[in-house]
Amino acid sequence: MEPFDEDEMRALICEVGHRIWTREYIAANDGNISVRLSQAEVLATPASVGKGFLKPGDLVVVDLEGNKLRGESRPSSEIRMHTAFYHARSDIRAVVHAHPPTATGFAVAGIPLDRALLPEAVIYLGAVPLVRYGVPGTDELMEDILENFVRDYDAFLLANHGVTTISRTLLDAYHKMEMVEHFAKISLVARQLGRENVFSPARAQELLDARARYGAIARGGCRIEESEDYPETTYAREVPMRPRNPEA
Ligand SMILES: [Zn+2]
């Protein structure tokens, strides 16, 4: 594993912390971010510091068990969630955890974001499974993820808690967080308008097949559903024909 430049990663974690706070994905001292610097070291956000105002020197370096190696502050109480991901997935090197309100609303309502509704969401995320609640800061938080989801997905809705995304790079893990919240917002609007037209199994499969071409790392896909309301058929049924040009 090629080590990342530590100064560069310190600056990037501060930048991502600022973005998740600015976009209101967290409140107060919520959320945590980490990068696997090397085989044995993880750079992580400290406990009890607002992620919108992080300075590079606030961050702490821990080992793969979450024990502090360097830094003034105490590591985040959720550091064990991060190290559990690094143990389970040797292909990922960044973890972002936040509580974006719309996606977290789905997590509170017990609704996974796993329907084939938008090409970008299917290609980039596959799906965002809902994982069983576990007390934050304890190993229980990761039980369901480790047992059922960690190998197949890169984004997780933590029931009654929030969202965690993982990737090869910090910027990509952050982009997945943005994508999850954006997908949740669109899903919510469609539900408020009265329905979500899902892609037909053939259309959904087409998007799943495209995932590898776009560099998706996890294999899990969206739910494939039989429905009356495929976009291609509802459009033909419900959108009126264009009025004829009166000049013609
Ligand atoms: Zn949390």
Domain residue extents for the chain: 6-214
Distance 215 CA to ligand 1 centre (A): 28
Greatest Cα-to-Cα distance within the chain, rounded to the nearest angstrom:
78
The predicted pLDDT at position 248 comes to: 53
Q: How far apart are CA 160 and CA 109, in angstroms?
A: 8
Residue-by-residue pLDDT tens, the chain, 248 positions: 999 999 999 999 999 999 999 999 999 999 999 999 999 999 999 999 999 999 999 999 999 999 999 999 999 989 999 999 999 999 999 999 999 999 999 999 999 999 999 999 999 999 999 999 999 888 898 999 999 999 999 999 999 999 999 999 999 999 999 999 999 999 999 999 999 999 999 999 999 999 988 888 888 889 999 887 777 766 666 665 666 666 65
Report CA(40)–ligand 1 centroid distance (Å): 24
Question: Could you tell me the distance, in angstroms and rounded to a whole number, from the CA of residue 72 to the centre of ligand 1?
Answer: 22
Helix intervals (H) in 78-168: 79-88, 101-109, 119-125, 140-144
β-pair type (60-62, 130-131): unpaired
Question: Ligand 1 centroid to 118 CA: how many Å?
Answer: 27
Spacing, Cα 225 to ligand 1 middle (Å): 31
Which CATH architecture does the domain made up of 6-214 adopt? 3-Layer(aba) Sandwich (3.40)
pTM: 0.92
Residues with CB under 5 A from ligand 1 (ion): 162
Residue 21's pLDDT is 97
Strand, coil or helix: what is 113?
strand
Q: What is the pLDDT of residue 241?
A: 61
pLDDT of residue 118: 96
Side chain identity at residue 147, one-letter code: E
Give the model's pLDDT for residue 101.
98
pLDDT at 239: 60
CA of 99 to the centre of ligand 1 (A): 6
Which segments of the chain does DSSP mark as H helices, in order? Answer: 6-22, 79-88, 101-109, 119-125, 140-144, 170-193, 201-210, 231-238
| Ligand 1 centroid from CA 207, angstroms | 31
Q: In angstroms, rounded to a whole number, what is the distance separating the alpha carbons of residues 81 and 97?
A: 9
